Amino acid sequence: MSSIEKTEEHQNGKNITFANKTRYIVLIIGLCCICSTNGNYNVINFSVICMQDVIEEQSVSNQTHWLENTADVSFIFSAGAVGAIIGLFPSVPLTTKYGVRNILSLYGMTTAISTLLFPMAVSFGYYPVIFVRMAQGFGASIMFSAIGSISEGWSPISEISTYVAFLSAGFQISNIISMPVSGVLCESQLGWRAIFYLFGGFSVLFHLIFFVFFRDSATVHRNVSLKELRKISTGRLPTSSKRQPVPYLAVCKDKVVLSIWAAAIGGNMSLMALMTYGPTYLNKVLGLDVRETGFLNAIPYILATAVKFVAGPLSDSLTFIPEVWRMIFFAAISQLGLAFGFFVMALTSSRVIAQVAYTTAIVLAGINIVGVVKCAQMVARQHVHFVMAVISLSAWGAIFVLPIIIGIVCPNHTASEWAVFYIAVGIFVIAMNVPFPFFATMEPSEYTKPEWEQKRNQVSPEQRI
């Protein structure tokens, strides 16, 4: 920000300032939106195993129902990723032009409405389900970018780890809620359809609240006091008041960003394998029934949320350790722990040890948000939504290719098949994270500074990219 500009109404104190804590209200609302959107997208991972009534109602003699066809069900999972990848490409220019408030609200409502329509789509047949699933993915595609943009506009530099960690906890919290709730509803008289109505309804509510209350920057929010605004602005680079176009080529040539993206690809491939196929692993390999699967799959996410709530403030408070070393430490613990969990699951025949390793891997994966993702926040600053969009692309790409890989490597879901897959993923995680410690930095890149924009304005349009 070049200056702290507030209207006379702000300065006269005519608005509620929430004890100079408006940024935390924004944090809670943003967390609810991310939690509900991720929950909308993931409820199918569990509810698909509860749709026996659909098979009975729609069964045709001498034909296999799509819910009984592994390839058809896998394609439904992949359809969500296809929709997300499609949604990602316009999300960056749209966010740059219209702001995260408008675009997150639009995308979130798309996912919410799609979730409400999902039971109707199932009653119509396979292709309507594919369409609605793609719409779910389209709306969910913006979640990673939203974390970066909300943090950039509202978090003080001194609280950035806490803010990013708490926002990203929505991914874990949504699973904590959705898994056991889905398990209970699946076996109740309400049935699996109630899952979609419940989560879709709450998502509509949260995104309406977000649209009404949220503003893209604390500088233009009527409830932010001058005292809070000074705290949020401290340590930030001065920027122009208008939204700046993303220097795509400069960002893509940044070695720090490239190391961030490499680490994200390795981490996302492994984490999505656990999140998407966790219920399948618990049910098919460890032999847990539906209700046990729902509750035991929620345990890692409960612990991961608790660890995030500790790791974020801890990273901000350890000021006697250089910030770069903190980021590298948390990234290393996260990714090495994730790889170790995969290796243990691959090599053990004990159900208890496998469950502990599975839980540990998910718990430790979550603290990478104050490692690799925090580095992205500090380096890319106002352009972080593009960096986060590419990170998101790696996650959705993983979701898209995983069903294909699982179908080839683990067609029968035996312990030996999953062992091969887990060893390969563990090695992949380590290899992709090797560059990050050598390039990690807290310094903002040149393309985030005002003089970069001034030089860019002096270049002819034909030379810009």
The whole-number pLDDT of residue 1 equals 43
Angle between helices 323-347 and 351-365 (to 10 degrees): 160
The whole-number pLDDT of residue 313 equals 87
The whole-number pLDDT of residue 254 equals 94
For residue 15, give the DSSP letter: S
Q: Is 352 exposed, middle or buried (0-12, 13-18, 19+ CB in 10 A)?
A: exposed
Q: What is the largest CA-CA distance in the chain?
A: 76
Distance CA 120, CA 129 (A): 9
The whole-number pLDDT of residue 61 equals 67
Half-sphere exposure of 423 (CA within 13 A, CB side): 9
Its pTM stands at: 0.81
Q: Is 187 exposed, middle or buried (0-12, 13-18, 19+ CB in 10 A)?
A: middle
Distance CA 229, CA 327 (A): 26
The whole-number pLDDT of residue 2 equals 44
Contact status, residue 339 vs residue 422, Cβ threshold 8 Å: no
Query: How far from 434 is each of 186, 260, 336, 374, CA to CA, in Å?
Result: 43, 10, 11, 17
Query: How far from 386 is each of 34, 293, 331, 363, 382, CA to CA, in Å?
Result: 18, 36, 21, 27, 9
DSSP E strand boundaries for 136-279: none
Tell me the three state secondary structure of residue 142: coil
Q: What percent of the residues of the chain are helix, what percent strand, and what percent coil, each to the nearest 5?
A: 80, 0, 20
Distance CA 313, CA 329 (A): 15
Angle between helices 290-317 and 160-186 (to 10 degrees): 170
Single-letter code of the amino acid located at 148 = G
> Which are the contacts of 126, defined by CB distance < 8 A and separation ≥ 6?
66, 72
The whole-number pLDDT of residue 91 equals 92
For residue 66, give the DSSP letter: G
> Which are the contacts of 202, defined by CB distance < 8 A and separation ≥ 6?
36
Distance CA 9, CA 14 (A): 6
The whole-number pLDDT of residue 290 equals 55
Q: Can you list the domains of the chain with their CATH numbers? A: 17-235 (1.20.1250.20), 245-464 (1.20.1250.20)
Single-letter code of the amino acid located at 157 = I
- pLDDT by position in tens, the chain (length 465): 444 444 444 444 556 778 888 999 999 999 999 999 999 998 887 788 788 888 888 877 667 788 888 778 878 888 988 999 999 999 989 998 899 999 999 999 999 999 999 999 999 989 999 999 999 999 999 998 899 889 888 988 888 888 888 998 888 888 788 878 887 888 888 888 999 999 999 999 999 999 999 999 888 898 999 999 988 888 666 555 556 788 899 999 999 999 999 999 999 888 888 877 766 776 677 776 655 655 666 678 788 888 888 888 888 888 888 889 999 999 999 999 999 989 998 888 787 888 888 888 888 888 888 889 889 888 988 888 899 889 988 888 887 888 788 888 888 878 888 889 989 999 999 999 999 999 999 888 888 887 776 666 565 555 555
Distance CA 404, CA 130 (A): 17
